[in-house]
Structure 1
């Protein structure tokens, strides 16, 4: 039995959970099937320990920095797919959509001498248009998203080939674009942004407690809030300390240190989408439609608009992933966005804790799942395993994640915690 203390605020009795009762209630939700990202976090820790023991270089500052650029495309596409999956839909075209958007940017930069501040928005607008068309076909024509996006998956491969003249490789030399996935912040700015992130998170957490307390709502124990803040602070401080170390083979000729630029980009999008899903009416509508479409429609929620919007967000984030992929490769070719990009991106969202059945998921799931996918790919590469072995292991982990999701839903249904 969880224990709480009660106080009186303005004549209204308010229940204030203690740290122990909060932990007890959380454990009860986990046992009831509400696992969230817990399996992915535990899996990530175990994988890091395994690879760290097997290869000393895994925990090196150079390899740690490489993980960000290596997994950026998966993470950004997965963030968009979270919105699509929340409605129980799927987008099989996200990988090649990112390739098409990346190609648009590269062509405008190289062949038409556009500046980066024109080419990048053009690529993003392309993603938005793609998402609107896909969403419109699904919402207004009632075509299953699997069919629509499978058709788009095939069509975008052809469009990419047409854009690249049948298979050419277009290189880019815009320094701003190249730095997005390959550049680093200065040591000073790295530490400044880290401190700002910690202070900002602490302020947001404490403000939430104050706001809920002012409305006589149940708040999380201050001890739990303090542990969250301390946990994030430790992670960010340790990561920044590692990333600000010199990691160049020849620092005299070329010093390389500082947080990769792609890291704060991921953080900004994570904050934006987390805020939208958790603090806005739109976010509540997305969860409502994903949980029960008919009930949402009867409640007056514009279901069709919500459906179109999630595909727009999905393809927009695919465009961001495409931009980062082109930046990392310094070029675009017919394979950009192809190969295992889509499968890894869907896997990142699902492994991170987003349900394939709709109604359950967060933006952070894409980041955690993307980290798992990237660590597997990176760690097994350091250990010398073939691509075939990496695919098998990643597939097994994805299957385990989907099985955990299905079992958790069954458990939640049996305990009434849906």
Structure 2
């Protein structure tokens, strides 16, 4: 995509131009979600039931938060293989501080997040100062932090969190209907207001703007989408707090990446590190901060996972969590080659993966088939990305 096209406001005409140049955006993911919904609802009418969709929203939060952190590193064209182990270790640190040491829940959570940031700092320094490949650095982290987790849990292997405590309540709290609708109204008004303000500022500066009718269509589409989600989940237990936390993280990091100097520098370093360095960007600082954010978000994902289980054990952060988090980022549209991706890719990607998982479980399909289907979807996403890059180059 040319720089001129990338800077144009997003309109249907610009969308077509981007498609011609190989930038397919989120359309393949949206089409995949529609296909998944049609297929699984035809095979099992419980797939689109409010109870199943609410459970799906709960299951998204932890893996999606870890995936959001991995996107920060993928945007640089690097990889973080330690996210799963870091999530389990930080959740274990939080639980030990809260249950064994008697610290308050909030203090224990802050310590866990600080531990995640410290681990990311170590990874970033090893990558930038020692010039070790990120693959090797985080692979060593995967094994090392897992070993530390096992060391901390060597006596008993499992630590339970209080079922009525603050941490466990994070996954067992449901928003009342009035608050859910208030949030929907607030999000729509803020989104629409921000779009109108941006349009006005661009008009004042003499820059091309998005047509007003297109802004209204986008805002209306967001309102309908959020309203449908609230209606469905309100038919069961309501909107889960975990989904609000995950959604808030996605929105915050989307704003950071799109509207701050740090975000622009991340894309610049991922697109061409040498050109970014010559432009005066502190490439080392950007890389270290990206690794710190990745590990901090991995810690946050571990906390949300521990909240759902009300415990930590030797399997925390293990199993297929890391693989699913990386797959979600790539399936959502983040490029493995760096320089292209959005925070919303974590939401879209994890929605695809959890939808496939939920549908397979409802059909009592063996997990081996689930892995093969997820692998096929991941391979398709990478193929689309490769073709898009080839089209852009041409």
TM bracket, shorter-chain basis: over 0.9
2:298 to 318, 321, 327: 318
Distance 1:167 1:396 in 2: 39
Write out per-residue CA displacement over residues 105-137 of structure 1, whole angstroms, 9 at most, x where no aligned residue. Answer: 111121112111111111100110010100110
Q: In the alignment, which residue of structure 2 is the partner of 1:373?
A: 353
SS at match of 2:258: helix
Matched, 1:364 2:354: no
The alignment's TM-score, normalised by the length of structure 2, stands at 0.96
* Offset of residue 24 of structure 1: 2.9
Q: In the alignment, which residue of structure 2 is the partner of 1:334?
A: 314
Distance 1:361 1:62 in 2: 32
Distance 2:222 2:177 in 1: 20
2:188 to 193, 198, 215: 198
1:47 to 13, 36, 41: 36
Structure 2 unaligned residues grouped into runs of 5+? 1-7
Aligned positions of 1:168-247 closer than 5 A? 168-173=157-162, 174-245=164-235, 247=236
* Offset of residue 179 of structure 1: 2.1
**Contact 1:138–1:145 under 8 Å retained in 2:** yes
Q: In the alignment, which residue of structure 2 is the partner of 1:160?
A: 149
* Offset of residue 25 of structure 1: 2.7
Q: In the alignment, which residue of structure 1 is the partner of 2:3?
A: none
**Contact 1:161–1:167 under 8 Å retained in 2:** no
Write out per-residue CA displacement over residues 221-252 of structure 1, whole angstroms, 9 at most, x where no aligned residue. Answer: 1111111101110010011111112x3xxxxx
Write out per-residue CA displacement over residues 371-417 of structure 1, whole angstroms, 9 at most, x where no aligned residue. Answer: 00110111111111011110110011101111111111001100xxx
Distance 2:253 2:110 in 1: 19
Q: In the alignment, which residue of structure 1 is the partner of 2:61?
A: 72
**Contact 1:350–1:398 under 8 Å retained in 2:** yes
* Offset of residue 362 of structure 1: 0.4
Structure number with bigger Rg: 1
* Offset of residue 167 of structure 1: 5.7
SS at match of 2:47: helix
Write out per-residue CA displacement over residues 68-92 of structure 1, whole angstroms, 9 at most, x where no aligned residue. Answer: 2212121101111111000000000
Distance 1:349 1:356 in 2: 9
1:345 to 325, 338, 344: 325
Distance 2:212 2:278 in 1: 39
* Offset of residue 27 of structure 1: 1.3
Distance 2:156 2:15 in 1: 53
Matched, 1:113 2:102: yes
* Offset of residue 277 of structure 1: 0.5
Which one is further off, 266-275 or 350-359? 266-275
Distance 1:384 1:208 in 2: 49
Distance 2:197 2:41 in 1: 38
Distance 1:207 1:63 in 2: 39
Distance 2:291 2:211 in 1: 38
Matched, 1:403 2:383: yes
Q: How many residues align?
A: 386
Which one is further off, 388-397 or 63-72? 63-72
2:251 to 268, 271, 281: 271
SS at match of 2:240: coil
Which one is further off, 100-109 or 165-174? 165-174
Distance 2:89 2:41 in 1: 37
Distance 2:14 2:315 in 1: 48
1:92 to 73, 78, 81: 81
Write out per-residue CA displacement over residues 18-54 of structure 1, whole angstroms, 9 at most, x where no aligned residue. Answer: x9xx323311211211112221111111111111121
The alignment's TM-score, normalised by the length of structure 1, stands at 0.90
2:118 to 119, 129, 147: 129
Distance 2:243 2:60 in 1: 10
Distance 2:134 2:318 in 1: 19
Write out per-residue CA displacement over residues 172-215 of structure 1, whole angstroms, 9 at most, x where no aligned residue. Answer: 01522112223211122111111111111111111111121121
Distance 2:346 2:292 in 1: 17
Q: In the alignment, which residue of structure 2 is the partner of 1:389?
A: 369
